[in-house]
Amino acid sequence: MAPLKGFTPSEKITATSLMEDYITEKSAKNVTNEELVRMSYVPLALAELVWDYAMTIVDMASNFQIPATKKLCLVIRKLRERYLIDEPRIFDDIIESKMKTLNAEYFDEAVSDIMQQFVNNVRFDLKSIYPDLDEEWVYYLVAVQQCHVLYSSLVNYVTSITGTISLNIGIELQSFLPAAFYRLEELIPCFMGDKPMSKSFDKLRGAYVKTFCGQMKQIKLLKDKKAV
């Protein structure tokens, strides 16, 4: 995949200002600004893509008026509000807030071919198990799977980069993403209801998680929306 272009960590993003009390000035000497950005800003940007998929599912479930998802949709909306309250504000004076959304969209476009392959596999699996399923329900269930695979990929990415930096600085760091984000792990699959994927699909999904995670590790981010 061609890397996302244009993002160069600002000189203002020092280890201490970036991480605030996350790590000490002394320990920060063992890690680069680039690594710190990849552990903090990259997850924050890509989390916006996951939330966008999650809120799309909520909107679809609401439009379909699925009784079993009414409370679930409310929980997701409240989690989103909590996430926005708890989201770290370290970058507010360094990078325009709109750039998180633009970077999320840029990544989404960059992996669109891979995502389409994933969608085709989800559709095939669903049609194999539920041949009489209406197309609108297939579309809905595909959206759930897209959200879940991106969520899992980002969690794997964060675990990997945070673990690497933790070893470098000798401090066990926690995820930079707010706790509300991790509630999606148990909630998103619930939208599948009584239409689970086949048992064999888990292995295929795991392969796509590794692929998307690999793409996340390669990215460089847009500095402004004119970057190409």
pTM, full prediction: 0.87
The pLDDT > 70 percentage for the chain reads 84
Give the confidence band of 169 by pLDDT, cuts at 50, 70, 90. Answer: confident
Position 173 scores a pLDDT of 82
Backbone CA torsion sign across 127, 131, 135, 140: negative
pLDDT band per the 50, 70, 90 thresholds, residue 20: low
For 181-226, the pLDDT digits (tens) are 999 999 999 999 999 999 999 999 999 999 999 999 988 776 654 4
- Torsion angle of C-alpha atoms 209, 110, 37, 96, degrees rounded to 10: -130
